[in-house]
Amino acid sequence: MKHELILDNARVILRNEVIDGHVVVRDGTIAVIDTGRCRSAAARDLDGDFLTPGLVDVHTDNAELHLVPRPGVRWPTRPGVLAHDAAIATAGITTVLDAIACGSDYGKEWRKDIAQETITGISELQRSGHFRADHLLHLRCEIVAEDMTESLTQTIDNPLVRLISIMDHTPGARQFVDIDKFRVYYKGKHGLNDQQVDDMIATRQQLQTRIAAQQRQLVADMCHARGITLATHDDATSEHVDEAVKFGATMCEFPTTVEAARAARKHGLATIMGGPNMVRGGSHSGNVSARELAENGLLDMLTSDYIPASLMQAAWLLHAQSGFSVPEAFDVVAGQPARALGLNDRGVIETGRRADLVRIHRSEHGPVVRRVWRQGMEVA
């Protein structure tokens, strides 16, 4: 007997329009989309709430926040990852790429210690069916970290890996082109004095000169050999984007300037910005705002970055503040990310697609996630 779910009296967000109607799901797949009310007694009345596609999140650091909730505090991996999964699903995200750092950063040397255990935990829970959302992996390769190559070699062949990004957090470059912003960030986050910050800046700049170029090439080569999507990160100039094109990147993640975003558009790289940037109205690092890129036609995707709930909020803000239609806004957080990763069975409400669906009530306080279904099964 087929499992059937009927969602009635909904404002259904389709690829190009919003309809008042109902959706019928059979065995995890969208079977019928139609206008008007459904006469079936088994139908669930959504009281006129919106029905959106399940969100597709290509980058979140949220797992780390559950595994290392305080400096020096290590939480058990599987319970921590399950708590992360719950936060993801209840935010309306049905497919997520968990960002795993390959390479240590100052004050986060523990990343190397938890990377393999985190990947093992995610892989086991994904296979066992205990997750609410569908979990894949995004490897963040810090090319100015001496331990990056070892970490990448250990993780890249996991079958859940779908995206790799090349990162360079050298002070004075990319995300932290303004060294004063870098000083404020690290002094506040790690309690460093001026001399300690100066020493760290000098060390990171020396590493960039010594190892960055060869590690960048290594990441690109390993990625292409396995057919994994490659992203650049924190591009600030058109030259950065030219370099990304040379290495075969297809995504420009968190460009820091309009110049870089325009160059990415010119070369056909998809531009990705953070949901928190959109919600807050600007970058916490003093870089270009997601809203500015959206209003200049330079925004392709949003990601939750470090706050799962920001992705749904950001989608509605694209509509309310930046002139996007509702279908256009949800293409930024669902359709385009799915297509960019080759996940062509999801990201849009269409017959034949996976029934990854979210019921949203729009209140004066913003979008409220009321129900979430993944492949037709209620998960939140």
Question: For 289-317, how does the pLDDT look when each residue is reduced to its tens digit (9 = 90+)?
Answer: 999 999 999 999 999 999 999 999 999 99
Give the 3-state secondary structure of 6-64. EEEEEEEECCCCEEEEEEEEECCEEEEEEECCCCCCCCEECCCCEEEECEEEEEECHHH
Tell me what pLDDT residue 315 has: 98
Question: For 45-71, how does the pLDDT look when each residue is reduced to its tens digit (9 = 90+)?
Answer: 999 999 999 999 999 999 999 999 988
Kindly state the tokens that stand for 24. 């019928």
Q: What mean pLDDT is predicted for residues 101-130?
A: 87
pLDDT of residue 277 exceeding 90, the answer is: yes
Question: For 348-365, how does the pLDDT look when each residue is reduced to its tens digit (9 = 90+)?
Answer: 999 999 999 999 999 988
Tell me what pLDDT residue 174 has: 66
% residues pLDDT > 90 (the chain): 79
Tell me what pLDDT residue 190 has: 64
| CA distances from residue 237 to 93, 211, 274, 277, 308 in whole angstroms, order as listed | 32, 21, 19, 20, 29
pLDDT of residue 201 exceeding 80, the answer is: no
Rounded to the nearest 10 degrees, the angle between the axes of helix 194-226 and helix 179-190 is 100
Contacts of 214 (CB under 8 A, 6+ apart): none
CA distance 361 to 256: 33
Please report the beta strands in the chain, taking only residues with DSSP state E, as ranges in sequence order: 4-13, 18-26, 29-35, 44-45, 50-53, 55-60, 93-102, 134-142, 161-167, 229-233, 251-253, 270-274, 301-303, 357-363, 366-374, 377-378
**Of the listed ranges 145-159, 182-196, 271-285, 366-380, the one predicted with least confidence:** 182-196
CA distance 377 to 176: 43
Kindly state the tokens that stand for 173. 């470059």
- Per-residue confidence band for 188, with pLDDT thresholds at 50, 70 and 90: low
Tell me what pLDDT residue 205 has: 73
Tell me what pLDDT residue 173 has: 65
pLDDT of residue 253 exceeding 90, the answer is: yes
Tell me what pLDDT residue 286 has: 75
Tell me if residue 284 falls in helix, strand or coil: coil
Average pLDDT of the chain to the nearest whole number: 92
Pairing of the two strands 50-53 and 357-363: antiparallel
CATH architecture of 53-347: Alpha-Beta Barrel (3.20)
Q: Where are the domains of the chain?
A: 4-50+366-378, 53-347
Kindly state the tokens that stand for 202. 């000098």
- Per-residue confidence band for 192, with pLDDT thresholds at 50, 70 and 90: confident
Residue 18 identity (one-letter amino acid): V
Tell me if the domain spanning 4-50+366-378 has CATH number 3.50.50.60: no
